[in-house]
Amino acid sequence: MAVDATMPTTIKSAPSSSSSSSSNSSKSSTATTGIADNFQTFLTLLTTQLQNQNPLDPLDTNQFTQQLVQFAGVEQQLKSNDQLKSLIDIEKSAQATQALVYVGNTVAVDGSTAQFDKSATWNFTSEKDTTATITITSSTGQTAFTGSYALKQGNSSFLWDGKGNDGVQWPAGTYTMSATGKDSSGNSVAISTEVQGIVDSVDLSASPPLLSIGGQSYTTDKIKRVVRSTASS
């Protein structure tokens, strides 16, 4: 077993619109325009209220005008909200399209649990040079593999072929890797882990869309990098 803490070297343990045109035209002709869209309506309302005011309690025209202006502002805000909703729908559609691009690609996401089938890959980042103890456990909590490796500061990758310390092949399934490090003084060194795998599918019914990687679901913001697979000759 060997280790190289420089990426990407890996550690190896071994609706139709044509029929609705006439109805749309009839609806548009009878649609009621808002006060902010029709200044003539504004003047009509103003003069009507002035003509019918109480002579003993005359209307304050300035206050009336301010109320109408405020009402027009509210109407404009409602229209802005509708436009924002349309923009949100467009953004959701763009997110779905973006998520589809990842299908079939190998990506790295934050996490420590990976799906093993012939091989499983984890990435980790060490804040300084360290001696790390790497332990892989099965879904039932059994220790499948453990080993100590010298890591340099930065990124490394660990590729597991499914064999335990006794050389026995472990079955396909879900496995979790943990990495703990110590520096030369015996102080703990923080090591963050990532899971690397192929995006099998995308759930577009979720918001935001969920990527399925080795049986686990992740949002696109969890993706740290996309790994180009090496073509075999």
Average pLDDT for residues 58-87, to the nearest whole number? Answer: 74
In this prediction, residue 59 carries a pLDDT of 65
In this prediction, residue 35 carries a pLDDT of 52
Considering the segment(s) 103-227 as one domain, its CATH architecture is Sandwich (2.60)
* Strand-pair partners of 35: none
pLDDT tens track for 85-111: 777 777 767 767 777 888 888 888 888
Q: How confident is the model at residue 145 (pLDDT cuts 50, 70, 90)?
A: very high
Q: Under the phi-then-psi rule, with left for phi > 0, alpha for psi from -120 to 50, and beta for the rest, what region is 21?
A: alpha
Higher pLDDT, residue 193 or 70: 193
pLDDT tens track for 174-232: 999 999 988 888 888 888 888 888 888 888 788 788 888 877 888 888 888 887 765 44
Contacts of 117 (CB under 8 A, 6+ apart): 172
Higher pLDDT, residue 189 or 4: 189
Which secondary structure element, helix H or strand E, spans residue 99, and what is its range?
helix 61-100
| Beta strands at 173-182 and 130-138: parallel, antiparallel or unpaired | antiparallel
* Strand-pair partners of 72: none
Which secondary structure element, helix H or strand E, spans residue 83, and what is its range?
helix 61-100
Exposed/middle/buried for 126, CB within 10 Å: 0-12, 13-18, 19+? buried
CB 221 within 8 A of CB 109: no
